[in-house]
Structure 1
Amino acid sequence: MTTTTSKKKPAARSKWFPLVWVIPALLVVLALVVVLAQWLRSLPEVQSFLTDYPGEVAPAEGTPVGFPAWLQWQHFLNSLFILLIIRTGWQVRTTQRPAAHWTRNNSGLIRTKGKPTKISIDLWLHLSLDALWVLNGIVFYILLFATGQWLRVVPTSWEVIPNAISAALQYASLNWPHENGWVNYNSLQLIAYFVTIFIAAPLAIITGIRMSGAWPKNAAKLNKIYPVEVARAVHLPVMIYFTAFIIVHVTLVLTTGALRNLNHMYGGGDTESWTGFWFFAASLVVMAVAWIAARPLILRPIAALTGTVSK
């Protein structure tokens, strides 16, 4: 009589397993940064530096005060689009078996030679959101320079650099700089907004176009100058940057006078009323609905308006 033994397969490790050690390690690093920053602030030389460079530079002459209504709407739309773009971008990168595919109809205003490429419905949504984000960004850039709001987010003096270091040290030591974003950003905020608007956003667009089907595949010289591998190597770090920026930005908004900060961008005033909070809460509801709605069951009929959807 023979017996057979079966070996049990090891349990599949959850994709969230790395967070078990990443999060505690990150908390330890943050605690060490705080201790180091507080020790540095006790040094006479550092105290003198903080006195000379308090963390902000006086705004340039003619810099507008406050946030106009168009900027409030732009802020909301940018927040909505970038949230969904990050989500769909991650889905495109990690999903191995998409729920559906989309193929563009080759009989509309835009026609191409050859057979249209079939892409996942996740990539279709990602590219569609990219187009809306770019269109919204064009409007944003035009209004930013037409109204003088660019003066609030573009450094106009080299003193911004030491003041940004000062602001970073103040944040790290948990003795945060005092500023009024309605009038002027501190130098660290200024640099962060400048990088986001004028460096990270264009990089996301340029690398995204290179990776998309719109890029000419037969342009040998152009492809040699700008290989797709370079675009892929830059595109993911840019997404990580946007994610980190959003987390830090929202955290600081809510921990440095939430009502006043929310009223600046959502309520259109420099007060601590609840108006901005309720508009902010409504925007979160819209984002949550859009997040839930971005699923194949709802996306299929929408995508079918511009192409053929297949499982």
Structure 2
Amino acid sequence: MWVVVTHWLNVLFMIMMARSGIEILSAFPKFYWRDDCPPGREWLRLSKKVFSSEPRRPWSSLDEEESWNPVIALPGRKNLGLGRHWHFMTLQFWIATGAVYVAMVFATGYWHYLIPDHWSIIPDAIRQIGTYLHFELGQPIAGQPFNPAQKLMYFTVIFVVSPLMILAGAAMSPAVIGRFPWYGKLFGGKQGARSVHFLGMCFFGMFVVVHVLMVILHGLPSQLTRIVLGSGQKDTTLGLALGLTILFVIFAIQVPLSIVSLRRRRLVQHLTGLMVDPPQRVLSRSFSSRQQYTDADISPYHRVNGYPPTDPAYEEMARHEFRDYRLDVGGLVKHPVSLSVADLRALGTVAYIAKHNCIQGWTSIGKWGGIPVSTIIDLVEPEDEAKVAVFYAFDDKGLTEAEGRYGHFYGSIPLWLASKPQTILAVDMNGGPLPIEHGAPVRLRCESQLGFKMVKWVRAIEFVADYSHVGMGQGGWREDQQFYSNSAGI
């Protein structure tokens, strides 16, 4: 019965992970093997949109996003934030189910049916596949429930592909690969891990198709009865009815998940966040970015996410190379300051080469130079009750992004994250002044987090006790308007 229960839970959780994974994929439906993601050089593109590194008109990576139907994506319709929430929440249940299954496999001796004990299983499996291709059903291995092809395939699914999917998923976490750059290199970089993860999903999909086909060929009533009741029964009516009912319930569950996610997005953000956010916060707090790539690693092309501000005051400053720019730093601090770019540089700059991880999925490696935020903290001396730094931007998203959203962009990070060595106010990029499209004159860099946390076109910093009174109270514009998680280490 433990095989039966974990089997059906696995069906439910893998459908949810596949659908939410498809939602995540819709934000950047392209696959690369290299982390610089040059436009037009992807090995697979699931979109009709084509963009060039030398375009006739400017474009943003947000233009690459697709809106996929809720029938296949959870929840669908450009809801990347909620798709990630569902994916990471379901992942925890899937891993727990798998852990129980594997523990029982070894505790009960069931592993003898799943783990090959001789290399002869490979030629035997090939012969068995030949038997199927001749429209004949083979016999199981003596004393075991599976034939060689089934045994080899179950072993591959359970002990090879499933762990590989988890390991590849971890290699896409900016907190993990920021702290352990060597780990991402095991997959050839984050894009390699992302491609492996996608191919793993395709493998699972093909396995399910063949698996269901084999159940039908071997006798649907008897096989489904065994899957539901755990043993062969002479009367298969109950097993068939119960099995079809379970399948109906599993697929029916998907409907309210999609409807609630699309109609009550804030509620879903908060409820799933109860399980999703704490592990991300632990991950971010435990790992400090230690990236230091070489000049040879710098990407020749760095995507732009979002269009520059259209604010007249900002455009006027840009025309004068930001000579009149002032960064106001205040809030719960002992010494509020207003700093020009020259003042910031005078505080002392650092430089490093790191990988930018956009929440959409693309990556790029660049050299960033700027002032450690810890230096700003030491300068203004926050009050004891100050726990969060809020970064305000010139960017009015109602003008630069629209799609029914509004308000000036802002983001927040806790002070412990602001104090990390590779959290800086960047004023330089790739050896020159920070370009406008990448956030000039000042942008936040926080290398253990996803890119949406790194506010561009920063106009002010406020130290606060918490972010509940800022914007809609979720900790950032993307969190407010697009239901992202405020923790972004994964």
Query: TM-score, with normalisation over the residues of structure 1?
Result: 0.66
> Which residue pairs with 1:154 in the alignment?
115
Partner of 1:192: 153
Q: Is the 8 A contact 1:268 1:276 kept in 2?
A: no
The residue aligned with 2:162 is 201
Structure 2 SS opposite 1:269: coil
**Alignment equivalent of 1:140, drawn from 98, 101, 104:** 101
- Equivalent pair of 1:182/1:270 in contact (CA under 8 Å): no
Give the number of equivalent residue pairs: 226
Match of 1:267 among 229, 243, 251: 229
| Mapping for residues 22-101 of structure 1, pairs under 5 Å | 69-95=1-27, 96=65
Structure 1 counterpart SS, 2:176? coil
Supply the distance in 2 between the matched residues of 1:201 and 1:286 (Cα, whole angstroms). Answer: 25
> Which structure has more strand as a fraction of its residues?
2
Given that 2:140 and 2:148 are in contact with CA atoms closer than 8 Å, whether structure 1 keeps it comes out as no
2:268 paired residue among 286, 298, 302: 302
Contact 1:207 1:231 in 2 (8 A): yes
Counterpart pick for 1:168 among 121, 129, 134: 129
Q: Which residue of 2 aligns with 1:111?
A: none
Correspondence list, 1:99-248, <5 A: 120-179=81-140, 183-212=144-173, 215-225=176-186, 227-248=189-210
Per-residue deviation, 1:214: 5.1
Aligned to 1:211, the other structure's residue is in SS state coil
Q: Provide the secondary structure at the position in 2 that maps to 1:294.
A: helix
CA distance in 1, matches of 2:180, 2:77: 33
Matches of 2:208 and 2:265 in 1, distance apart?
A: 26
Deviation >3 Å, runs of 4+: 97-101, 178-183, 218-226, 307-311
CA–CA separation in structure 2 for the residues paired with 1:87 and 1:181: 39
Instruction: Work out the CA distance in 1 between the residues paired with 2:186 and 2:152.
Output: 30
1:181 shift after superposition: 11
Name the SS of the counterpart of 1:304 in structure 2: helix
Structure 1 residues 236, 224: CA separation in 2 closer, same or farther (over 3 Å shift)?
closer
User: Helix, strand or coil for the counterpart of 2:232?
Assistant: coil
Describe the shift of the 1:205–1:225 C-alpha distance in structure 2 as closer, same or farther (beyond 3 A): closer
What secondary structure sits across from 1:120 in the alignment? helix
Q: 1:172 to 1:285 in 2, by over 3 A?
A: same
SS in structure 2 of the partner of residue 158 of structure 1:
coil
What's the counterpart of residue 54 of structure 1?
A: none
C-alpha change, 1:196 and 1:186, in structure 2 (3 Å) is same
Q: CA deviation at 1:216?
A: 4.8
Q: How far, CA to CA, are the matches of 2:141 and 2:227 in structure 1?
A: 13
Q: 1:251 to 1:300 in 2, by over 3 A?
A: farther
Structure 2 residue aligned with 1:49: none
Cross-structure match for 1:254: 216
Change (3 A) 1:225 1:158: closer
Paired with 2:131 and 2:20, the residues of 1 have a C-alpha distance of: 36
Q: AA paired with 2:147? A: N
Q: Secondary structure at the match of 2:19?
A: helix
User: Deviation per CA, 1:247-275, whole angstroms, max 9, x where unpaired?
Assistant: 10011102211111111110122124222
- Separation in structure 2 between the aligned mates of residue 181 and residue 121 of structure 1, nearest angstrom: 49
Q: Aligned letter for 2:95?
A: V
* Aligned partner letter, 1:246: V
Distance 2:125 2:186 in 1: 36
- CA distance in 2 between counterparts of 1:283 and 1:128 reads 22
Q: Which runs of 5+ in 2 are unaligned?
A: 28-64, 68-75, 275-473, 483-490
Give the greater-gyration-radius structure (CA). 2
Q: CA deviation at 1:128?
A: 1.1
- Cα shift at 1:78: 0.6
Are the aligned partners of 1:266 and 1:275 in contact in 2 as well (CA < 8 Å)? no
2:166 is paired with a residue whose SS is: helix
Higher relative contact order (CA 8 A, sep 6+): 1
Tell me, in whole angstroms, the C-alpha distance in 1 between the residues paired with 2:142 and 2:3.
14
Q: What per-residue deviation string (whole Å, max 9, x for no partner) do you get for residues 34-53 of structure 1?
A: xxxxxxxxxxxxxxxxxxxx
**Is the 2:12–2:250 contact (alpha carbons within 8 Å) kept by the matching residues of 1?**
yes
Q: Gaps (5+ residues) in structure 1?
A: 1-68, 102-118
Q: Which segment is superposed worse, 175-184 or 140-149?
A: 175-184
- Larger proportion of helix: 1
